[in-house]
C-alpha cells in the first residue's frame, strides 16, 4: 500500500519509552539514558525530513523561514520556561554562578555540545547538561533543510538519491569518528557529547524518510518489517539495561551509539511500514501516546526535579521509596501543565499556522506522522 501523510501514534509511544529510559538513568536506576537520546535523534530525523519532503512534493519548494518558525514555536516555550525556573532555583539555593553559567549560555544558544569539549565544561552543571542533545539537533537542522533545497532543486530526478547519499556519508563519518576515538581516554567526553559522534542517528532517520516517502509496500514487506521491529525493540530494551553493559556495545570504545541507532532505525521502519502491527499496537496504547507527547517537557524538567530532590533530601529519588513515586508524579504533572498551558498555546500563536489533524492510521496502511517534538 502507498504511504500517505498522517499521524502515527506509535512514534509517540516510542518517545515515551525513550524518555522513560532517560528519567530512570537520572533517577538512579541502571539504565543507559544516552541510548534513549539516540532514539529521539532517529525519530526526529525521520519526522522532519519526511515532512519537508511532503512540503516539497506539494509546493515544489521549501520555506526555510516557516521551518525555523515552526521549530522555534515548538521548542522555545518549554525551553525558556524550564531555563527560567532552573535559574530561579539555583539562585535561590545560592549555587555559585561559576558552577552553572556556561550551561545557561549553552542552553539558550544551542551550543552545550561545543562547551562540553572546552575548558568551560565544569561550569555547565547537571542543571543544564541536558541541553547538549538539543544543541546537536538544532545544529543539524541549520544545514539539513538548506541542503535539501539545493539537492532537490538541482539534482533533478536524482535529487533524493543525492540527498540519501549525503546522509549516508554523514553516517559513515560518524562511525569513523567514533572508531578513531575509541579507547582514547581523552576522547571519551567527545564520544558522549560531540555533534560528530551523534549525527549519524539523525541522518539514519532522514534516510528512512527519503527511502520510504510515497513508496508502496506489499504484505510480505509489511510482515517482515513488523517482525524485525519487534525483535529490534526487545533487543534495544535489553541493551538499555545499564547493569548488563553488554560488550562490545558498552565499554571504553564507541559506547554502542551506532548499533543502537541502527536498532532504532529498524524499529521506526517497522512502525512506519506496518502501522497495524503488533509493536505499533503496543506502543500506540493511549497512556504511552500521551506520555510521548509530553516527552519533550519530561526531558527538559527531569534534571531540575532530580537535582532539586537530591538537594532537599540528600539522595536520588530511587532511594526514597514512596517519596520517589511522588517525585515521579510531580514530574509528570509539571510536564502536563507545561504542555497544556504554556507549550501548546504559545506554539499555536508563534507558529502562525493551524494545528494539523491527528487522525489515527488505518490498520494495514502505512503513514508518515505529523510534525511532533523532536524530544
Query: Could you report the per-residue pLDDT of 323-375, keeping only the tens digit for each?
Result: 999 999 999 999 999 999 999 999 999 987 544 443 333 333 333 333 344 45
Cα–Cα distance, 198 to 135 (Å, whole number): 11
Does residue 34 form part of some domain? yes
Question: Does pTM surpass 0.85?
Answer: yes
Cα–Cα distance, 4 to 6 (Å, whole number): 6
In terms of residue numbers, what domain contains 325?
A: 4-368
According to the model, what pLDDT value does residue 146 have?
Answer: 96
Which residues, other chains included, contact 231 with Cβ-Cβ below 8 Å and sequence gap of 6+? 266
Question: Is residue 2 helix, strand or coil?
Answer: strand
According to the model, what pLDDT value does residue 93 have?
Answer: 97
At residue 156 the predicted structure's pLDDT band, cuts being 50, 70 and 90, is: confident
Place of cell 514555536: 73
Query: Could you report the per-residue pLDDT of 96-128, keeping only the tens digit for each?
Result: 999 999 999 999 999 999 999 999 999 999 999
CA atoms within 13 A on the CB side of 336: 9
Does residue 265 form part of some domain? yes
According to the model, what pLDDT value does residue 370 have?
Answer: 39
Query: Could you report the per-residue pLDDT of 12-65, keeping only the tens digit for each?
Result: 999 999 999 999 999 989 898 999 999 999 999 999 999 999 999 999 999 999
The strand pairing partners of 360, in sequence order, are: 7
Does residue 374 form part of some domain? no
According to the model, what pLDDT value does residue 357 have?
Answer: 41
Count of structural domains within the chain: 1
Cα–Cα distance, 160 to 55 (Å, whole number): 14
At residue 181 the predicted structure's pLDDT band, cuts being 50, 70 and 90, is: confident
Does residue 355 form part of some domain? yes
**Better-predicted residue by pLDDT, 87 or 156:** 87
DSSP 153-178: HHSGGGHHHHHHHHHHHHHHHHHHHH
CA atoms within 13 A on the CB side of 255: 23
Which cell numbers in the block locate residue 173? 563519518
**Better-predicted residue by pLDDT, 248 or 15:** 15
Does residue 375 form part of some domain? no
According to the model, what pLDDT value does residue 104 have?
Answer: 98
Reply yes or no on whether the pLDDT at 179 is more than 90: no
Does residue 17 form part of some domain? yes
- How would you classify the pairing of strands 4-5 and 367-368? parallel
Does residue 373 form part of some domain? no
Amino acid at each position: 500500500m502507498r504511504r500517505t501523510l498522517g499521524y502515527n501514534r506509535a512514534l509517540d509511544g516510542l518517545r515515551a519509552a525513550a524518555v522513560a529510559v532517560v528519567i530512570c538513568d537520572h533517577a538512579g536506576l541502571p539504565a543507559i539514558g544516552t541510548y534513549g537520546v539516540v532514539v529521539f535523534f532517529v525519530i526526529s530525523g525521520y519526522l522532519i525530513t519526511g515532512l519537508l519532503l511532503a512540503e516539497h512534493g506539494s509546493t515544489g519548494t521549501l520555506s526555510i523561514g516557516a521551518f525555523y518558525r515552526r521549530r522555534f514555536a515548538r521548542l522555545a516555550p518549554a525551553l525558556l520556561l524550564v531555563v527560567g525556573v532552573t535559574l530561579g532555583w539555583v539562585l535561590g539555593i545560592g549555587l555559585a554562578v561559576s558552577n552553572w553559567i556556561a550551561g545557561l549560555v549553552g542552553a539558550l544558544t544551542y551550543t552545550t555540545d561545543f562547551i562540553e569539549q572546552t575548558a568551560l565544561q565544569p561550569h555547565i552543571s547537571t542543571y543544564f547538561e541536558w541541553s547538549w542533545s538539543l544543541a546537536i539537533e538544532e545544529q543539524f537542522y541549520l544545514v539539513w533543510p538548506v541542503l535539501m533545497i539545493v539537492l532537490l532543486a538541482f539534482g533533478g530526478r536524482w535529487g533524493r538519491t543525492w540527498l540519501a547519499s549525503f546522509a549516508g556519508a554523514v553516517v559513515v563519518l560518524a562511525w569513523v569518528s567514533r572508531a578513531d576515538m575509541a579507547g582514547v581516554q581523552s576522547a571519551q567526553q567527545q564520544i558522549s557529547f560531540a555533534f560528530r559522534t551523534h549525527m549519524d542517528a539523525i541522518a539514519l532517520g532522514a534516510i528512512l524518510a527519503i527511502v520510504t516517502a510515497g513508496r508502496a509496500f506489499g504484505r510480505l514487506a509489511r510482515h517482515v518489517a513488523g517482525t524485525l521491529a519487534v525483535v529490534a525493540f526487545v533487543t534495544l530494551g535489553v541493551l538499555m539495561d545499564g547493569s548488563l553493559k553488554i560488550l562490545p556495545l558498552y565499554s571504553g570504545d564507541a559506547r554502542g551509539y551506532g548499533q543502537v541507532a541502527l536498532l532504532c532505525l529498524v524499529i521506526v521502519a517497522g512502525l512506519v511500514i506496518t502501522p497495524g502491527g503488533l509493536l505499533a499496537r503496543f506502543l500506540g496504547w493511549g497512556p504511552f501516546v500521551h506520555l510521548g507527547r509530553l516527552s519533550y517537557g519530561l526531558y527538559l524538567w527531569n534534571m531540575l526535579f532530580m537535582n532539586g530532590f537530591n538537594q532537599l533530601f540528600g539522595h536520588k529519588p530511587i532511594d526514597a521509596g514512596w517519596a520517589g513515586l511522588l517525585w515521579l508524579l510531580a514530574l509528570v504533572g509539571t510536564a502536563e501543565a507545561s504542555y497544556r498551558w504554556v507549550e501548546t498555546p504559545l506554539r499555536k500563536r508563534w507558529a502562525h499556522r493551524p494545528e494539523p489533524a491527528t487522525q489515527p492510521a488505518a490498520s494495514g496502511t502505512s503513514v508518515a506522522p505529523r510534525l511532533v517534538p523532536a524530544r
